[in-house]
Amino acid sequence: MLGLMQDQELMISAIIKHAARHHPTAELVSKTTEGDVHRYTYAEFERRARRMVRVLQRLGVNVQDRVATMAWNGYRHMELYYAISGMQAITHTINPRLAVDDVAYIVNHAEDVLVFSDTTFAPLIAAAAPKFRATVRAVVFMCDRAHMPDIALPEGMELLCYEELMDAADEDYVWQDFDERTAATLCYTSGTTGRPKGVLYSHRSTLLHAFSVGQADVIGLRAVDRVLPVVPMFHVNAWGIPYGALMAGATLVMPGRFLDGASLTKLMNDEKVTMSAGVPTVWLGLLQHLEKSGDRLPTMERLMVGGSACPRMIYEAFDGYGVRVFQGWGMTEMSPVGTYNTAKAAHIGMSAQDEYTIRVKQGRALFGIDMKIVGDDGAELPWDGKQSGHLLVKGPWVTNAYYGDAPGSALDQDGWFATGDVAALDPEGYLEITDRSKDVIKSGGEWISSIQLENIAVGHPDVAEAAIIAANHAKWAERPLLIVVPKAGHTIDKASVMAIFDGQVASWWKPDDLVVVDELPHSATGKIQKLALRNKFRDYLLTKSD
Ligand code: AMP
């Protein structure tokens, strides 16, 4: 017997309809590429998104066509998010920090029919467009006529203006329902090794992920929140906030291209932001600004951090400003959020110092996500907080295949997806990522966590950024080598930096040596490119091995 409940497909358009009908006066505030602040209500936003559907239809976009966006977080990007998926086409977000060849590769792989771009990326579009295949019919710059960049596009590819197209369109579109498993958005992984791979989300997976991320023990969005996602809409769907905020009726504050500490502080304070989300580097920049300027964040309550491990000093420093930091973990293949770190009853009454040892972990599984860690032989390892293994995940917002591959091809025979992360799970289910599997250090047959060592190293007052790599060693096969970037105006005293590990890790975990560099190589998503470092420094220790 089937239940007798109303059958409604889980549609992305249901979110924008809800926001316009039940939170019509909540605002979408955006710092524009030109530098001014644009604001309108969710009611106006929804009308403009419907108008954009008419634009897309006029430009010949069909059901399930891929439409690319290369844009900062802002209202026009939001209009595209909802219009493209809402009309049953596929929003393909492109990371503008990728190399020209990678941008061209993914546009061609996705066979995009249109590319929408912020004016900031005009030089990148001009360089990449000659490499686009003929599927791309037009580039639309997300601005008015007065701000249109003057670039040359290959023959047959039109150069169009967003606001001109909008002016000529009607807003009479009516949102449609269709199968909730229909593809809605496409995002390519950054591809630190090999070519980027596409992850194709559905309406259903997007809604389930957004419901889950909004829960009280995750980012806990409320209608009274004013949320500023620094995490970009061009990668990993800004951690689901463009959807979750509208579900909750929270006000969205979009930072555009202004992501430095001073700009963020001003926007957060001008717009009375209560919650924000970004990678550790963003929060380090914000902290440096606060320390230098003496500014405070009087309305900010909580920050979500993820994308890379978050050093303890970030938690401690923000606690000093009355702002609570929470860590999440996930990946493009998981929509992206899989875990979030909030306390359990077992932690009530803990001292702040003890609490930090839990808070710096990546958190516990969201309802819907299951996880396990396995050894090299595939056997499941215990949740003792000590043993590390390969992390596998399952859930309705985890991919089962990369775009273009056979359905199910990314899973093992039991339906698990291998994350490529190495992690431990403690008895309360808190995940601690110790490494990417390709970055692990195996010293004398034992694993050493590079992430733990890096987090300790950046706690040193002279260190701006740190990477630990596996360097070849005659006796132990591999030993940790520390590579550091000094803070501006500071010099590195080797003995002092090495001493910071004493008492914090087992003595055999201590790096064998330290190299000072001006900067570390980063991927398009801001992650340190360990492979490039290993290629350069892998034999560094060999001459001094005993
Ligand atoms: P991406 O698909 O670009 O979001 O990258 C996903 C990868 O980033 C994960 O597989 C992890 O290796 C890393 N990552 C994400 N969040 C965290 C975190 N909180 N701590 C450590 N690593 C993280």
pLDDT in tens, 298-344: 999 999 999 989 999 999 999 999 999 999 999 999 999 999 999 99
Banded pLDDT at 526 (limits 50, 70, 90): confident
| Residue 545 pLDDT > 60 | no
Tokens representing 57? 């239809």
Kindly state if the Cβ of 331 falls inside 6 Å of ligand 1.
Answer: yes
* Per-residue pLDDT, 191: 56
Q: Are the beta carbons of 60 and 158 closer than 8 angstroms?
A: no
Which of 129, 53, 58 minimizes the C-alpha distance to 88? 53
**pLDDT class for 480, splitting at 50, 70, 90?**
very high
On the question of pLDDT at 504 being above 50, the answer is yes
Q: In the CATH scheme, what is the homologous superfamily, with its name and number, of domain 439-545?
A: ANL, C-terminal domain (3.30.300.30)
At residue 321, the pLDDT reads 98
Annotation marks residue 416 as catalytic: no
What's the CA gap between 111 and 235, in Å, rounded?
19
- By 3-state DSSP, what share of the chain in percent is helix, strand and coil, each rounded to 5? 30, 25, 45
Cα separation, 316 vs 302, whole angstroms: 13
User: Which of the listed residues 303, 304, 308 should we mutate to test ligand 1's pocket, taking the one with most ligand atoms within 8 A of CB?
Assistant: 308
Catalytic-labelled residue, pool 32, 69, 93, 189: 189
Q: How far is the CA of 308 from the centre of ligand 1 (A)?
A: 5
CATH 3.30.300.30 residue ranges in the chain? 439-545
Positive or negative: CA dihedral 438, 439, 444, 447: negative
Mean pLDDT of 249-259: 98
- C-alpha of residue 408 to centroid of ligand 1, in Å: 22
In short, whether 189's Cβ falls inside 6 Å of ligand 1 is yes
Ligand 1 pocket residue status of 332, Cβ below 6 Å: yes
* CA of residue 293 to ligand 1 center, whole Å: 31
Rounded distance from Cα 183 to ligand 1 centre (Å): 24
**pTM for this entry:** 0.92
How close are the terminal C-alpha atoms of the chain, in Å?
Answer: 73
Tell me, what's the pLDDT at 531? 86
pLDDT for 546: 45
Q: Which of 79, 333, 432, 454 is catalytic?
A: 333
What does the alpha-carbon distance between residue 110 and residue 188 come to, in Å, rounded to a whole number? 10
- Using the mean position of ligand 1's atoms as its centre, give its distance from the Cα of residue 433 in Å: 9
pLDDT at residue 273 above 50?
yes
What is the whole-number distance in angstroms between the Cα of residue 236 and the centre of ligand 1?
A: 11
- The residue type found at 87 is M
Buried b (16+ CB within 10 A) or exposed e, 9-20: bbbbbbbbbbbb
Spell out the long-range contacts of 192-197 with Cβ–Cβ below 8 A and sequence spacing 24 or more.
Answer: 192/523, 192/527, 192/529, 192/531, 193/438, 193/531, 195/102, 195/105, 195/109, 196/98, 196/102, 196/105, 196/106, 196/109, 197/402, 197/403
Architecture of domain 9-24+42-203: 3-Layer(aba) Sandwich (3.40)
Nearest CA to ligand 1 atom 15: 307
Check if 77 has its Cβ closer than 6 Å to any atom of ligand 1: no
Could you give the strand order of the β-sheet that contains 37-41, starting from the edge strand earlier in sequence?
37-41, 27-31, 251-254, 226-229, 275-278, 302-305, 324-330, 337-340, 364-365
Closest-CA residue to 66 (of 118, 132, 124, 154): 132
Q: Is 171 a catalytic residue?
A: no
Establish whether residue 236 lines the binding site of ligand 1, counting it when its CB lies within 6 angstroms of any ligand atom: yes
Choice among 442, 494, 508, 544 that is catalytic: 442
Ligand 1 atom having least distance to the Cα of 420: 10
Mean pLDDT of the region 493-513: 93
| Residue 280 Cβ contacting ligand 1 at under 6 Å | no
Average pLDDT of every residue of the chain: 95
Is it true that the peptide bond before 336 is cis, omega within 30 degrees of 0?
yes
Q: Is the dihedral of CA 344, 348, 350, 356 positive or negative?
A: positive
The protein residue with its alpha carbon nearest to ligand 1, atom 7, reads 331
- The three-class DSSP label of residue 513 is strand
How confident is residue 477, by pLDDT bands cut at 50, 70 and 90?
Answer: confident
Ligand 1 close to Cβ of residue 234 (< 6 A):
no
Tell me how far the alpha carbon of residue 306 lies from the centroid of ligand 1, in angstroms. 7
Query: Is the distance from the beta carbon of residue 190 to the nearest atom of ligand 1 less than 6 Å?
Result: yes
**pLDDT confidence band for 193 (50 / 70 / 90):** low
Q: Is 439 in the pocket of ligand 1 (CB under 6 A)?
A: no
Q: Which atom of ligand 1 is nearest to the CA of 362?
A: 19
d(CA 105, CA 422): 30
Residue whose C-alpha is closest to residue 27's, from 299, 245, 240, 298 = 245
At 464, is the pLDDT very low, low, confident or very high (cuts 50, 70, 90)?
A: very high
Specify whether 155 is catalytic.
Answer: no
H-state helical runs in 93-202: 100-110, 122-128, 162-167
Q: Looking at the CA of residue 332, tell me the nearest atom of ligand 1.
A: 2
- Residue 524: per-residue pLDDT: 83
Reduce the DSSP state of residue 385 to 3 states and report it: coil
Q: What per-residue confidence (pLDDT) applies to 9?
A: 97
Q: Ligand 1 centroid vs 271 CA: distance in angstroms?
A: 30
* 209-231 per-position pLDDT tens digit: 999 999 999 999 999 999 999 99
Q: Is the pLDDT of residue 495 over 50?
A: yes
Nearest to 423 by CA among 454, 453, 452, 466: 452
Q: What average pLDDT score do residues 440-451 get?
A: 84
Contact 410, 430 (CB under 8 A): no
Q: According to CATH, where is 3.40.50.12780 located in the chain?
A: 9-24+42-203
User: In sequence order, what are the beta bridge partners of 68?
Assistant: 92, 115
Structure confidence at residue 503 (pLDDT): 87
Other C-beta atoms closer than 10 Å to the C-beta of 177 total: 13
pLDDT for the residue numbered 192:
53
| Whether the CB of 363 sits within 6 Å of ligand 1 | no
Confidence of residue 90 (pLDDT cuts 50, 70, 90): very high
Q: Considering the chain, what percentage of its residues have pLDDT values greater than 90?
A: 88
pLDDT of residue 445: 76
Identify the residue with better confidence: 524 or 129: 129
Whether 454 is catalytic: no
- pLDDT, position 544: 62
Answer yes or no: is pLDDT of 194 > 80.
no
